[in-house]
Amino acid sequence: QVQLVEFGGGLVQAGGSLRLSCAASGVTFSNCGLGWFRQAPGREREFVAAISWSPAYTYYLDSVKGRFTISRDNAKNTVNLQMNSLKPEDTAVYSCAAAPHAPLRGWNARVSGNYDYWGQGTQVTVSS
């Protein structure tokens, strides 16, 4: 059974940083396209960042470019999202997602329907 679990959410002031991690069991991340999505109250789920595999191209939502960094640690079977210079509009529930055996290049990496497995999400709240 595949399980993804996110860690690292919390409350932070604007301008602060958080690091989210997602650990997996039942699936090998080294063979997966991996992504982070977020959903704020009353809004649709939104793509945030993704990383493909072999090679590891990265993709970002325009509004987080230069502030967020996605990375993968295949040895630990985790995917991370370093979030710096956080803004109140970054407040949302953040979820990781995995697509086994799918490189997910370009636009495909931004489409939530291309991911097979999802975590439950972790709340990120940025106060002004």
**pLDDT reading at 117 higher than 80:** yes
Q: What is the pLDDT of residue 102?
A: 82
Pairing relation of β-strands 122-127 and 10-13?
Answer: parallel
Whole-number Å distance between alpha carbons of 11 and 98? 26
Sequence-separated (6 or more) residues with CB below 8 Å from residue 10: 18, 123, 124, 125
Residue 112 pLDDT grade (very low, low, confident, very high; cuts 50, 70, 90): very high
3-state per-residue secondary structure call for 6-75:
EECCEEEECCCCEEEEEEEECCCHHHEEEEEEEECCCCCCEEEEEECCCCCCEEECHHHCCCEEEEEECC
Q: What is the pLDDT of residue 56?
A: 84
* 3-class SS of residue 19: strand
The mean pLDDT value of the chain amounts to 95
Mean pLDDT of 90-119: 94
Question: What tokens appear for 30 in the block?
Answer: 């080294």
Q: What is the pLDDT of residue 92?
A: 98
pLDDT digits (tens, 9 = 90+) for 48-78: 999 998 788 999 999 999 999 999 998 999 9
Q: What is the pLDDT of residue 66?
A: 98
**pLDDT reading at 101 higher than 90:** no
Helical H segments across the chain, by residue range: none
Pairing relation of β-strands 117-118 and 3-7?
Answer: unpaired
Residue 103 pLDDT grade (very low, low, confident, very high; cuts 50, 70, 90): confident
